[in-house]
Structure 1
Amino acid sequence: MEKEIIKLKDIAVSFDGEPVLNGLDLSIRDGEFVTLLGPSGCGKTTTLRIIGGFVTPDHGDVFFDGKRINDLPAYRRPVNTIFQRYALFPHMNVYENVAFGMRVQKKRRDEIRKTVEEMLALVNLKGFEKRGVNTLSGGQQQRVAIARALANNPKVLLLDEPLAALDLKLRKDMQVELKNIQKSLGITFIYVTHDQEEALSMSDTVVVMDGGQIQQIGTPQDIYNEPENAFVADFIGESNILDGIMHEDYLVEFFGRKFRCLDAGFGKDEPVDVVIRPEDIDIVEPEKGHLTGTVTGVTFKGVHFETIVDFKGFKWMIQTTDYYEVGRLIGIVLNPEDIHIMKKSAYSGMFGDYSSYSEEFDELADPEADLVQEGVDEENI
């Protein structure tokens, strides 16, 4: 296992009396791609700036390779930072921008030239040395900023929403390039974003933050498939989040029905949050469903339809490649592996109902719906 390169211990920061970080603990291993993910104001950029030395914590310690660096100024830390605004020097060409830091350090001219050539080749800008940075596209300017940041051979690269200003296609291309660069160099990347897809596609480890605290740390797969609370489940992709009761290991009840699941370790009859992803729901004929409901809204998303279905007043989102018209009665089947159980938290009840997502369906559901539902087996076991 890679060694720990950065450790934040019990970090607290307030601005104008308002807490931004509160008792934050975080360990980052050498050579991994870590993403700090969360909504605006969650504390992710402040965390990055503390690592970079731009913000001093009110409380807690910052360690680099096991040494406390709270009092070490930013310019002496073995890190470099790329911001959303690339901060390139407009009066310098590409070569001069990349070489700038090394010239400040008074490195030899031949060493500078060799490093600039290597960095520009790494970011696919070979031959751009004499181009003015104002003549470059946004993606090319981003590559120059990356090359400049890497030219001084930092142990850690900090990236604060560096792709936010790019259009969607270019942003996706740069996601792949950044991940390839990180793998090629083998150094630690710490990346800040509010974009869930960006975090899931690029990261070895995702740190989900809200309210100045870490809500969950894990691989992209763990974060998506096994969210720890309703905030994580809602923020990472789309989720239907229901109130449930865990009667015993592998058996949960919601909507008055019992379902088999794969979760265990909860108390007998413990109230829980149940997460069901929209893409994991199978639509069937009403008489074959574990639950039945009425379609109240449909939105075409290109690769699928987002279908809103009313199940006795609670509206679910279902993602399907088939079109179901508004007003249609449908059934759904839920498999044990598609039902995820979470402990109740401060976020319980705040997310997961799509009533405000689509226009309200004014007509009453088919009066036969309850009769159909009662005809289905009581338990999906």
Structure 2
Amino acid sequence: MATIAAFAVMGLLAAGALAALGAPVNWPFIATAVAAALGGPASLTGSLATGRVTASVHGTVGVLPLGLAVPAAVVFCVVLAGSARTPVRAVAVRAAGAAVTTTAVLVAVLAAGDGTLRIALPAGKTLLAVRPDAGATVLGAVFAFVLLAGFCALLALVPHGRIVAGIALLGTIVPTVIALVAALVAAGHRPAVAGVALLFGVNAVLVAVLSGFGAAPPALTGPMTTRLHDSAGGQAWLLGDSAGPVAVRLGALAAFILLGAAVLAMVPPGAGGDRWRRAGRRAAVAGATLAAVLAGMSAAGGGSLELGLAVLFFNAPVLGLHVAPAVGWALLAGALSGGLAGLVGSLVADARARGLSRSPVEPTLPAWDEASERG
């Protein structure tokens, strides 16, 4: 069930993004998007007819769409583990069944064939064939399965498993919700931007957050760069704006800190040491967890997109997008945000526990006895 739920989420989001982008919503294109979310780059081949001259189109899309991968990973872990208290043996049994299902779904994805897309351009018409890399897709799927299944099994073994699960869930949900909100806002007047937000909105939120700490933004090259920024309008941050909107950056950081503190405030403080030592431990656990989650997403979201034209012996690049992983800045951002959330949440949990222990208890009055009253 975990594998089916995860692939269903990826398929539905991919179908929505393709529809918004005006691309064919068929199985080959959906399978290509799903394969890209598993880490399989797609190759683009085709031709551009411009009257007397025919040029060949070539390119690769190697940027993993976190907008598909992150929600699918969350759904997989939630269905597989259920909670941090699920025994390791139960998780292992479910993972064995999920491995069989994953193999079957991968066969269906890789057997989908090439997606074919016709695009009408001012200079002529082009026919593109999109094909995912089968080997990279399989390796990415195996790595993701082992990583997620191992994480679910470790939740029952590591101390502070509930805190680790809550912060990890928060670190993935916050950028996903921001990306979905951006897609909904843009859907009415800029459907293409909404489609990009569904696929790469999580990537853009992560870039906006890390750029505030000093990470280098994605690099856009080629003659189509200006046209893409003009067509995106106010949503240029989706295409690698150098600074990213302040609202997205501050909103994501505030959500990490405030929601993380709220989650940890609901976890009983436990025993051992004074409240500041407990707060320090929870800050360390929350900071390390959020740092690992953000660093993992940053590493997975790195890649490049290349598009070029070739006429006879001449080869000209048209568009290039290079996203460098910012693992170090992600570790710093996660450690600071998660650590502050853990510190505040632990102190609030201690205050709540002390308030409950000091709450007055109303005395219980003895029942009125009519016979004793008469006596």
Question: Is the structural similarity TM-score above 0.5?
Answer: no
Point out the structure with the larger helix share.
2
Identify the TM-score tier after normalising by the shorter chain.
under 0.3
Point out the structure with the larger strand share.
1
Higher relative contact order (CA 8 A, sep 6+): 2
